[in-house]
Structure 1
């Protein structure tokens, strides 16, 4: 089931497209089976340029992988003067719905990882008529809250591993990492790079280890082409847009107050990474009660499991697509 990952600079299996979506320019990767025929359209949010894109194309799906607001080739409006709600789940859900409409989709399959996981769960709530099936890798479903709980409260309470989010939401990382060389060092850290004495560039408890970044080499999670692509893309607008996603907790809470339901009605799949140090398996306890049809699977891997264990992730997706999405089963 091995498939060669996407070459981000030149790959005949996909094209790089842009669209004006609710006033902002979005970049997305588009992949269509060679014969031009496809049985459904699947949107991948935070796809990490993984082998999932060509693998899903090989299964007869049209694949759309958009960069979220502030990421890659998509616009990164400054906050202020713009509203932080531009980086919220509600805005992302509405933009996905609009892009799907522009691509002629009456319904889509929707999947995501990391921030994309939170986006797909909320999109399923905001636009249930659009989403036929939904899946998340690593990111468990987190129901809307009646009372506001800050990131600081989470860190002091049940989720101390979210401490890195406090750092990323603050001014220090954005101020320290602005040049292309800074971005390069940042991706050395985020790709698992280490220094000569075992120094690391990131940890959940501290965030980005700014003092150690110059010591790191590129890590194993990104091959050279993908690494260079990310450095190029992030150098366009810096980290401001990306880090805004860590500044939206209150905005998302306020938007969630208008959600009509907290229940995911369409068939769903959740893939747990058993060794994820941030989105730990304990966080997914009890989420079943919010679903009508939920399939659960797991992989013995850490957070970036699509990169480290692509065959396992692709096999899980294929079983679910064959059995639930196209086979009509309720679960596997």
Structure 2
């Protein structure tokens, strides 16, 4: 079943809401299936450089299945606050803070239990949220992002890139402050987004290289993207122009802060609640081999895969949705037509 994606301008299926969470204002998309009854609440957490609207193909599926859906813009993104660092601590962009803010929003919405779905950075967030707030999270699904357990030893981005994950070197560039020098106007934001979502230049020039980062020299060369264009692209440009790209890149400056806070979770490495991991087989950063340890660390794990790049949510939405739908039904959440 092909469902019409959420329209970025106006869509009767969702409301755009704000909430003050632990002192900062978040923007989120909110949907309840008609006539107002819902069987459970699903939170959808996006990644970089994405927004809550990155779930535009999944929100209709979940509403159609009878779920209440909450999709926030993460700290520094879209309509959510973007506190400056310094003077504020970088922990505001960390996994624990995001987890605590999700828990606070769930409390404000009266949700005693939630299902968490994540992609990219949102995938890292949902795994940690289940560890920081085990009483809240009943199920997890993550697209592209495998579970990584807390570690006692600290490893810098430089160590990681020189060692087991050379494709993570881009994170060093994103954290450096260099990207903001070239992505600093509506025009360059538009070109950057087109390139990040697969647009290339006339001679195959690309904007993103996993081992280098953002290639500024190619920004103005790239053409249209097949998966982010038209009014969706216009919406993204508008939202990224609110505060610029700098605040979103703070997520790549949190490695040590996240490690320090993770030390409190060393005795919670195993995740026993039902989990679904959807691997994008052509993801150039979050490669399939990175998920090998999940079979022992996630004791109630279901796996799925889709022949897509990192942007599986919008590149192959029917395939992703079919996997999520089947898993939820197997967890006892039957479709509305079978209630």
Tell me by how many angstroms 1:115 deviates.
Answer: 0.3
Q: 1:248 is matched with which residue?
A: 254
Q: 1:292 is matched with which residue?
A: 299
Preserved CA contact (<8 Å) 2:197 2:311: no
Name the CA distance, whole Å, in 1 between partners of 2:218 and 2:303.
38
Q: 1:33 is matched with which residue?
A: 33
Q: 2:146 is matched with which residue?
A: 140
Q: 1:330 is matched with which residue?
A: none
Which of 306, 310, 317 in structure 1 is aligned with 2:317? 310
Preserved CA contact (<8 Å) 2:42 2:68: yes
Preserved CA contact (<8 Å) 2:116 2:137: yes
Name the CA distance, whole Å, in 1 between partners of 2:302 and 2:251.
28
Q: Does 1:282 align with 2:289?
A: yes
Q: 1:6 is matched with which residue?
A: 6
Which of 225, 233, 239 in structure 2 is aligned with 1:227? 233
Tell me by how many angstroms 1:176 deviates.
Answer: 2.2
Tell me by how many angstroms 1:77 deviates.
Answer: 0.5
Matches of residues 110-259 of structure 1 in structure 2 within 5 Å?
110-259=116-265
For each residue in 1:83-142, what CA deviation from the matched residue of structure 2 results, as whole angstroms up to 9, or x when unmatched? 000000000000000000000000000010000000000000000100011110110000
Q: Does 1:95 align with 2:95?
A: no
Preserved CA contact (<8 Å) 1:78 1:240: no
Preserved CA contact (<8 Å) 1:107 1:129: yes
Preserved CA contact (<8 Å) 2:194 2:229: no
Gaps of 5+ in 1: 328-332
Tell me by how many angstroms 1:222 deviates.
Answer: 0.5
Q: 1:271 is matched with which residue?
A: 278
Which shifted more, 185-194 or 140-149? 185-194
Name the CA distance, whole Å, in 2 between partners of 1:292 and 1:200.
40
TM-score norm. by structure 1 comes to: 0.96
Q: What SS does the corresponding residue of 2:272 show, helix, strand or coil? A: coil
Q: What SS does the corresponding residue of 1:146 show, helix, strand or coil? A: coil
RMSD (Å), alpha carbons: 1.1
Matches of residues 47-86 of structure 1 in structure 2 within 5 Å?
47=52, 48-86=54-92
Name the CA distance, whole Å, in 2 between partners of 1:97 and 1:245.
19
Tell me by how many angstroms 1:218 deviates.
Answer: 2.5
Tell me by how many angstroms 1:42 deviates.
Answer: 0.3
Name the CA distance, whole Å, in 2 between partners of 1:104 and 1:175.
43
Name the CA distance, whole Å, in 1 between partners of 2:201 and 2:308.
23
Preserved CA contact (<8 Å) 2:195 2:222: yes
Name the CA distance, whole Å, in 2 between partners of 1:45 and 1:325.
23
TM-score norm. by structure 2 comes to: 0.94
- Where do 4+ consecutive residues of structure 1 move more than 4 Å? none
Tell me by how many angstroms 1:50 deviates.
Answer: 2.6
